[in-house]
């Protein structure tokens, strides 16, 4: 058995493009991760504050805090930062794999271009979007549609 022949080297500008794509995805991943963590922590703190307000018979404060919890939940629904975080983490992994293949010389230039094009297309078309609060605006006619 002979070892597979190494692919011709991939041009440096293409490598730079892949690394720039990876860096962009990493930046967006970190931003969405921080936003997701902040919303989750804020929601937990509000929940504890509601309990404390109830214990101290502060129903007005508990009501206001309950409204803030509803706002946080609505924000998480409208801005799917958790889904976007996972999406960008996947893009980072796939671009890192592409860089590894390029550096190992196991991928041709044309194949590297095709993979990068595919990643960019996924980046443009598959980004998770927020949910609409109005079923008709979202194009749904019943409660069963759109669930997975």
Q: Express each pLDDT in 107-121 by its tens digit.
A: 999 999 999 999 999
Q: What is the pLDDT of residue 130?
A: 76
Q: What is the pLDDT of residue 148?
A: 37
Q: How far apart are CA 94 and CA 103, in angstroms?
A: 14
Q: Tell me how many degrees the CA angle 141-76-49 measures, rounded to the nearest 5.
A: 125
Output phi, psi for 20, to 5 deg.
-65, -40
Q: What is the pLDDT of residue 40?
A: 94
pTM of the full structure: 0.78
SS3 128: coil
Low-confidence ranges of the chain (pLDDT < 70): 1-5, 132-148
């Amino acid at each position: 058995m002979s070892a597979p022949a190494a692919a011709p080297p991939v041009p440096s500008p293409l490598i730079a493009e892949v690394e720039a794509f990876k860096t962009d995805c990493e930046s967006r991943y970190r931003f969405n991760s921080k936003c997701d963590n902040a919303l989750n922590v804020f929601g937990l703190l509000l929940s504890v504050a509601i309990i404390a307000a109830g214990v101290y018979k502060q129903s007005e404060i508990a009501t206001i805090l309950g409204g803030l919890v509803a706002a946080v939940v609505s924000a998480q629904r409208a801005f799917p930062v958790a889904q976007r975080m996972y999406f960008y983490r996947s893009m980072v992994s796939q671009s890192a794999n592409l860089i590894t293949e390029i550096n190992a010389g196991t991928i041709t230039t044309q194949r590297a271009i095709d993979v990068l094009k595919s990643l960019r297309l996924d980046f443009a078309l598959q980004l998770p979007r927020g949910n609409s609060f109005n079923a008709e605006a979202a194009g749904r006619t019943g409660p069963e549609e759109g669930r997975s």
